[in-house]
């Protein structure tokens, strides 16, 4: 949208330029003292030409900021906690599987032992009792 340099700027135009200057300072394109001077001038600007001079040496659109990987202490601690959680989860799954398997083995052994024990002790129950003859 073309605008005439001699037209008067609105408050919204001044605010937009001020925000663009702040963003440029965040990106490292302006020093703090430059930002202060340009903001002061932008808020007093009356025409588009005065505002255009403040941002003429800045790129039209700044590229979107690239996300930086988190490398702080919190990220390191979080990564460590995730690793410990995964290890504990795997151990719990293995121990549960072993416990279930061991429980079935114990049940099988108990059934086997009881069946063998009951055959020995019950072997005499099926014979008729012998009669004693008293003389």
What pLDDT shows up at residue 1? 43
What does each C-alpha distance from 100 to 23, 86, 95, 110, 114 come to in angstroms? Answer: 61, 21, 8, 15, 21
Q: How far apart, in Å, do the first and last CA atoms of the chain sit?
A: 135
DSSP, collapsed to helix, strand or coil, labels residue 8 as: strand
| Mean pLDDT (whole number) for 86-105 | 88
Strand partners for 127: none
What pLDDT shows up at residue 54? 92
| Mean pLDDT (whole number) for 123-134 | 64
Provide the whole-model pTM.
0.45
The closest alpha carbon to 21, from 74, 70, 59, 69, belongs to: 59
pLDDT digits (tens, 9 = 90+) for 46-63: 999 999 999 998 887 756
Give every CB contact of residue 5 below 8 A, 6+ residues apart in sequence.
47, 48, 49, 52
């Amino acid at each position: 949208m073309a605008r005439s340099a001699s037209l008067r700027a609105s408050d919204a135009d001044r605010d937009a330029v001020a925000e663009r200057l702040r963003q440029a300072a965040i990106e490292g394109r302006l020093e703090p003292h430059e930002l202060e001077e340009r903001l002061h001038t932008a808020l007093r600007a009356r025409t588009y030409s005065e505002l255009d001079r403040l941002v003429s040496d800045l790129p039209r659109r700044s590229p979107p900021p690239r996300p930086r990987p988190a490398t702080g202490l919190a990220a390191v601690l979080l990564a460590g906690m995730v690793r410990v959680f995964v290890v504990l989860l795997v151990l719990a799954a293995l121990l549960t599987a072993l416990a279930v398997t061991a429980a079935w083995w114990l049940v099988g052994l108990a059934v086997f032992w009881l069946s063998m024990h009951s055959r020995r002790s019950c072997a005499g129950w099926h014979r008729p009792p012998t009669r004693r003859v008293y003389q």
